[in-house]
A and B are shown apart, each in its own frame.
Chain A
């Protein structure tokens, strides 16, 4: 089998057409409506909790979103089409647990400084700009990727929150970064080039520790 490796390309591992994958998001929104608004609000509340230094609350709220994506998208919709759905589903569950632990350990608190501003910019991109890329290109508004229910904006927004923390909780990094790389490969294979931006964001995130050398001031100081 190893001798055949050169005969494989990414497309050989993509068991569905672009139409089918795009439809997953339309079906996700259709099935969840209007609960995705609540989940989106949960994520925003999680971000606000992190900014205010309420680490446990931030961990719980963001972890709920990850569990939601795992159950509503990865295990059910994506899992129908590809084994990758189940693998990613378990990865999302693992990340939810890690978020709970990080929150409990007080690692999910915001800060001030240049890295925090980068994090905020990434967060705005993930929550409000990236979801528009689909409908503004070849996809439909019905298939809008809503943060908190669709994987990619949730992954990117979570990384953005991590950038805002004074000391990066590295245990929370592998799942979202690897999932974003997988997602970028998926979009590329399906021929939706704007989706490559999720891979670029993962790379940008990995460069963020360089910014960490700049001066940081916690938003919230422990008594």
Chain B
């Protein structure tokens, strides 16, 4: 059973009685300045539907100028109600840079800290988790995932023990770029995990076929990486000056970032998308997708049809 942290308690108090379910979206909740939140299946804890990834963007090493810039990105994220932050030992110096930013902003209690185990040594799970926590400046993570299924059997077994001992609140597995979906599905079906992280966006909807339905069936929360298809999708749309459809306001979208992100997070199985950015302005655009309304199933199909027509 996951324990309630100070951050969760503050969010709940702030949202108060204004929290209400949003019909067909089931677990989407609007409140606290109309921010969209989704419940982690099997719990009464919810998170903002837009989180933050750190692949490439937070790997700036000891560069003080860029560290300050990334701190401002995190500040903008938190000011807009963001919570879920995801990193990995694979991301170079990203964990340390995140730790620096969290320390500067005294934000240890405001982030939902998600990290990964990424080592082929199946006996190194605890050690790597401890090293990662030290880099973030945290005592423990909210979520620890097995990165890209690397040595997943051994790591998952240890993570389950760590969860039972209260060393981590949630555990999960990750994949990206559509890799190893069959094996991923088997782990989801046969093991006790709280989260999965996978790639899902308007240009890559393979996860809709089996993984997302299975996540709903098994009450597994879903973090979505690459919601902009690695940035290619939004850059292509913006550089070609493609217009939003006239009906974009009906689905709560005023720019392409909101259009793409709201499509992703409006899937009933998706808990949170974690786009990465180096710019405060882009972060604010991303967080715009955590306000207003989410498209329903009919509107989602209309969004797909529109994108395919471009």
Q: Spell out A's residues near B (CB within 8 Å).
A: 4, 7-8, 11-12, 14-17, 19-20, 23-24, 27, 77, 80-82
* Interface 0/1 of B91-125, CB less than 8 Å to A: 11100000000000000000000000000000000
Report which of A7, A8, A15, A77 forms a contact with B91, defined as CB distance below 8 A: A15
Residues from chain B with Cβ under 8 Å of A4 in the complex: 179-180
Assembled-state Cα–Cα distance A103/B219 (Å): 68
Report which of A7, A12, A23, A82 forms a contact with B63, defined as CB distance below 8 A: A23
Stretch at the interface among B40-48, B54-62, B73-81, B262-270: B54-62
Q: A19-B66, A19-B278, A27-B63 are in contact. Are A80 and B56 (CB under 8 A)?
A: no
Report which of B93, B179, B180, B278 forms a contact with A81, defined as CB distance below 8 A: B93
Q: A4-B180, A7-B178, A15-B56 are in contact. Are A20 and B63 (CB under 8 A)?
A: yes
23 contacts between A and B (CB under 8 A): A4-B179, A7-B177, A7-B178, A8-B177, A11-B230, A14-B56, A15-B55, A15-B56, A15-B59, A15-B90, A16-B56, A16-B59, A16-B60, A20-B59, A20-B61, A20-B63, A20-B66, A24-B61, A27-B63, A80-B62, A81-B61, A81-B93, A82-B92
Within B163-186, the residues touching A (CB, 8 Å) are 177-180
* Interface 0/1 of B225-255, CB less than 8 Å to A: 0000010000000000000000000000000
Among B63, B90, B177, B178, residue most surrounded by chain A Cβ atoms (within 10 Å): B63
Are A17 and B57 in contact, CB atoms less than 8 angstroms apart? yes
Residues from chain A with Cβ under 8 Å of B90 in the complex: 15
Please provide the 4 A-B residue pairs with the shortest distance between their CB atoms, ordered closest to farther: A80-B61, A15-B92, A4-B179, A81-B92
Residues from chain A with Cβ under 8 Å of B177 in the complex: 7-8, 12
Q: Residue of A at shortest CB range from B93? A: A80
- Tell me, yes or no, whether B190 is within 8 Å of chain A by CB: no
Taking chain A's interface residues, is the majority helix, strand, or loop, or is none over half, making it mixed? helix
Taking chain B's interface residues, is the majority helix, strand, or loop, or is none over half, making it mixed? loop
Within B248-287, the residues touching A (CB, 8 Å) are 278
* 9 additional contacts (CB under 8 A) given A15-B55, A16-B60, A77-B61: A4-B180, A12-B177, A15-B90, A19-B66, A20-B59, A20-B60, A23-B63, A27-B63, A80-B93
Among B92, B180, B230, residue most surrounded by chain A Cβ atoms (within 10 Å): B92
Residues from chain A with Cβ under 8 Å of B309 in the complex: none
Q: Residue of B at shortest CB range from A14? A: B56
Q: A23-B63, A81-B93 are in contact. Are A17 and B56 (CB under 8 A)?
A: yes
Q: A14-B56, A20-B63 are in contact. Are A80 and B180 (CB under 8 A)?
A: no
| Chain B residues within 8 Å of chain A by Cβ, number | 20
Are A80 and B92 in contact, CB atoms less than 8 angstroms apart? yes
- Tell me, yes or no, whether B3 is within 8 Å of chain A by CB: no
Are A7 and B179 in contact, CB atoms less than 8 angstroms apart? yes
Q: Residue of B at shortest CB range from A80? A: B61
Report which of B55, B66, B91 forms a contact with A23, defined as CB distance below 8 A: B66
Closest CB in chain B relative to A27 CB, distance in Å:
6
Residues from chain B with Cβ under 8 Å of A77 in the complex: 61
Residues from chain A with Cβ under 8 Å of B61 in the complex: 20, 24, 77, 80-81
Assembled-state Cα–Cα distance A23/B93 (Å): 15
Closest CB in chain A relative to B85 CB, distance in Å:
17
Closest CB in chain B relative to A79 CB, distance in Å:
9
Closest CB in chain B relative to A97 CB, distance in Å:
27
Residues from chain A with Cβ under 8 Å of B92 in the complex: 15-16, 80-82
- Tell me, yes or no, whether B65 is within 8 Å of chain A by CB: yes
Q: Residue of B at shortest CB range from A79? A: B61
Closest CB in chain B relative to A100 CB, distance in Å:
31
Closest CB in chain B relative to A134 CB, distance in Å:
17
Among B60, B90, B91, residue most surrounded by chain A Cβ atoms (within 10 Å): B60
Residues from chain A with Cβ under 8 Å of B93 in the complex: 80-81
Residues from chain A with Cβ under 8 Å of B57 in the complex: 17
Assembled-state Cα–Cα distance A19/B179 (Å): 29
Assembled-state Cα–Cα distance A134/B56 (Å): 22
Are A23 and B56 in contact, CB atoms less than 8 angstroms apart? no
Closest CB in chain A relative to B240 CB, distance in Å:
18
Residues from chain A with Cβ under 8 Å of B91 in the complex: 15
Assembled-state Cα–Cα distance A84/B179 (Å): 24
Q: Residue of A at shortest CB range from B175? A: A4
Closest CB in chain A relative to B57 CB, distance in Å:
7
Residues from chain A with Cβ under 8 Å of B59 in the complex: 15-16, 20, 81
Closest CB in chain A relative to B150 CB, distance in Å:
9
Assembled-state Cα–Cα distance A154/B16 (Å): 63
Residues from chain B with Cβ under 8 Å of A14 in the complex: 56
Residues from chain B with Cβ under 8 Å of A16 in the complex: 56, 59-60, 92
Q: Residue of B at shortest CB range from A16? A: B59
Assembled-state Cα–Cα distance A105/B224 (Å): 59
